[in-house]
Amino acid sequence: MTDQQAATLDNTDQNLSQLAEQFLNGSQKEQLSLIPQLINVGEKGWEVLMNFLQASDFNSIDQVRGQVYGALYRLKNPTVEAFLNNHFVQGIIPLNSERNIDYSNLNQLLLEQEFQEADTLTRHLMCELAGEGAVQRKWVYFTEVEQFPARDLQTINGLWWLHSGGKFGFSVQRKLWLSVGQDFNKLWPKIGWKKDNNWTQYPNQFTWDLSAPVGHLPLLNQLRGVRVTASLFSHAAWKENNLK
Range of the domain at 12: 3-87
Asked if the structure places residue 183 within a domain, the reply is yes
Model pLDDT, residue 222: 83
Indicate whether 141 and 74 sit together in one domain. no
Q: In this predicted model, what pLDDT tens digit does every residue of 65-110 receive, in sequence order?
A: 999 999 999 999 999 999 999 999 888 999 999 999 999 999 999 9
Read off the CATH number of the domain in which 12 is found.
1.25.40.620
Model pLDDT, residue 14: 80
pTM confidence score: 0.91
pLDDT bin (cut points 50, 70, 90) of residue 125 is very high
Number of domains into which the chain is organized: 2
Long-range contacts of residues 145-150, Cβ cutoff 8 Å, at least 24 apart: 145/228, 145/231, 145/232, 145/235, 146/231, 146/235, 148/235, 148/237, 149/97, 149/98, 149/99, 150/235, 150/236, 150/237, 150/240, 150/241
Over residues 222-233, mean pLDDT: 92
pLDDT bin (cut points 50, 70, 90) of residue 24 is very high
Which helix (DSSP H) or strand (DSSP E) does residue 194 occupy? strand 194-195
Q: In this predicted model, what pLDDT tens digit does every residue of 28-39 receive, in sequence order?
A: 999 999 999 999
Indicate whether 141 and 198 sit together in one domain. yes
Instruction: Look at residues 24, 52, 87 and tell me which one is the last residue of a structural domain.
Output: 87
Give bridge partners of residue 199 from the DSSP assignment.
194
Indicate whether 13 and 128 sit together in one domain. no
Read off the CATH number of the domain in which 175 is found.
1.10.10.1770
Indicate whether 122 and 206 sit together in one domain. yes
